[in-house]
Amino acid sequence: MKFFLLSDNIDTLVGMRLVGIDGVVIHERHEVLNELEQAMQKEENCIILITTKLVELCPQVISELKLRQSRPLIVEIPDRHGTTTVGETIDRYVSEAIGIKM
């Protein structure tokens, strides 16, 4: 069981590498979709960490994957600036999953 990181900055990647998590630094939507697809195809990747900034580049695709795929688990992590509303994002995903719009 491995983690894999998709990050928009080198600082997050360096920090994760210190604890044994490999990953890539990317910045464009097509790079996110390409790297995410490659990471999902690797059987050893069970959890994919992705920074908020990258999630914002393709929110519909990632939301669909989170709702429809049982494996790997895709987890949004805040970026180094901490200007995220991950709690609100989680609320939105849960609401969509159970069919309640708030």
Domain assignment of residue 83, given as a range: 2-98
Longest dimension (CA), the chain: 40
**Which pLDDT tens digit goes with each residue over 43-100?**
999 999 999 999 999 999 999 998 888 889 999 988 766 555 656 666 766 677 677 6
* CATH (domain of 86): 3.40.50.10580
**Which pLDDT tens digit goes with each residue over 19-42?**
999 999 999 999 999 999 999 999
In this prediction, residue 27 carries a pLDDT of 94
As for how many domains the chain has, the answer is 1
Look up the pTM and report it: 0.78
In this prediction, residue 78 carries a pLDDT of 83
In this prediction, residue 39 carries a pLDDT of 94
Q: What residues form DSSP beta bridges with 50? A: 6, 76
